[in-house]
């Protein structure tokens, strides 16, 4: 198993080289989105509306951060269960999403879409949201503010620790 440190803007280049079990320290821009936001994003795609962020080459973290304490950019920011986004993930991957970050296994359709699109599924450690927040240097709501913690946010990661859960060859930690 290898260890990598790179910026999210390089995910398209790195994804084909990553293998399940590899460790990644990810920096750069990552967007949060959970169930409600995914449903809206898919509806926007289907109706031809502009999206709140560019999907091509993007990374989405399945998280609903808590409000920021005074002096910090974000509150606790741990991963949510990824399988809740499985109905939406294949379409988003086909539209250019290159990386999903969450916890837990994914269904066969998501794995097929990861392989088909040379993408990657990275896993964050559940139950460590306060520690994860220490690797986030900025947080800005970019869409669906009325959803509160489930709004889409643009985060800036700095050496956020992750493990490759499913790689672009279909290798998985979950089988």
Diameter over CA atoms, the chain: 43
Instruction: Please give the positions annotated as active site.
Output: 38
- Rg (Cα) of the chain, in Å, rounded? 15
Residue 134 CB contacts under 8 Å (≥ 6 apart), including other chains = none
| Distance spanning both ends of the chain, measured CA to CA | 17
The H or E element that residue 36 is part of is helix 35-47
């Amino acid at each position: 198993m290898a260890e990598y440190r790179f910026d999210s803007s390089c995910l398209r280049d790195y994804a084909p080289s990553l293998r399940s079990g590899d460790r990644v320290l990810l920096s750069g821009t990552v967007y949060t989105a959970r169930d409600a936001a995914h449903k809206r994003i898919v509806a926007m795609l289907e109706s031809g509306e502009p999206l709140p962020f560019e999907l091509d080459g993007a990374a989405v973290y399945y998280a609903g951060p808590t409000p920021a304490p005074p002096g910090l950019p974000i509150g606790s920011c741990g991963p949510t269960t990824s399988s809740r986004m499985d109905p939406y993930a294949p379409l988003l991957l086909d539209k250019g999403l290159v990386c999903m970050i969450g916890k837990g296994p994914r269904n066969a359709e998501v794995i097929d879409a990861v392989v088909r699109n040379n993408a990657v599924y990275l896993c964050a450690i559940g139950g460590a949201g306060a520690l994860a927040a220490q690797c986030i240097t900025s947080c800005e709501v970019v869409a669906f503010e009325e959803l509160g913690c489930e709004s889409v946010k643009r985060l800036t990661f700095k050496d956020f620790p992750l493990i490759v859960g499913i790689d672009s060859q279909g290798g998985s930690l979950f089988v």
